Homo-oligomer: A and B are copies of this chain.
Amino acid sequence: MEILKNRILECAEVIDGKILKVDSFLNHQCDIGLYNRIGQEFKNRFAKSDITKILTIEASGIGIACITAQYFGVPVVFAKKGTASNFTGEIYKSKVYSFTKEKHYEIIVAKKVLSEQDRVLIIDDFLANGNAVRGLIDILGQAGAKPEGVGIVIEKMFQKGRHEIIKMGIRLESLAVIKSLEQGKIIFE
């Protein structure tokens, strides 16, 4: 997706040759015009899939998922991190390891918002090692819902996320795929 790659080249910062900081337009300040282009592109790529729900995880995935959902005409569910005191009903949960924060956390989805009838598109801003996405796929499995695919805005293909998703036979569409951030230089695939 050229408009996205150009924006990354123009506005992103590389930290320590591995972190790509896109907080001026994607995951802190949100350029809603760009979000709409992203949503449209996900719809184009998954046009033939009969999606009933979009699943993401708090926090940075939510805005992208909500704008994207307009193009599919479906609701969004965002998995919550940790146990909130007002989570009273029955839940699905899974454990996710965060490399950024160097700890495990739990993700939670209420049973009532996912069913066996759901065909789900997972949306997130980044794919690195794929731990969050695998947690979401685990929850879909518990619900008996079908993962129709995974839509990622920025994939760091030098980490193992892609491999982990593909080997489960799940379709992955990433709008910008980064091959390397070495020496602070952004190289797309």
Contact = CB atoms under 8 A, between A and B. Distances in A.
B76 A63 contact: yes
Given A59-B59, A63-B78, 10 more contacts: A21-B86, A24-B113, A28-B110, A28-B113, A29-B75, A29-B76, A32-B66, A32-B76, A62-B66, A86-B100
A100 B112 CA distance: 22
A45 B152 CA distance: 35
A31 interface: yes
Contacts of A75: 29-32
A1 interface: no
Main secondary structure of the interface of A (DSSP, over half): mixed
A114 B63 CA distance: 19
A67 B75 CA distance: 13
B29 A70 contact: no
A48 interface: no
Interface string A91-118: 0000000001100000001101100000
Given A62-B59, A100-B84, A77 B110 contact: no
A183 interface: no
Given A29-B77, A77-B30, A85 B63 contact: no
Interface string A1-45: 000000000000101000101011000111110011000000000
A177 interface: no
A31 B77 CA distance: 9
A28 B67 contact: no
A166 to B, nearest CB: 26
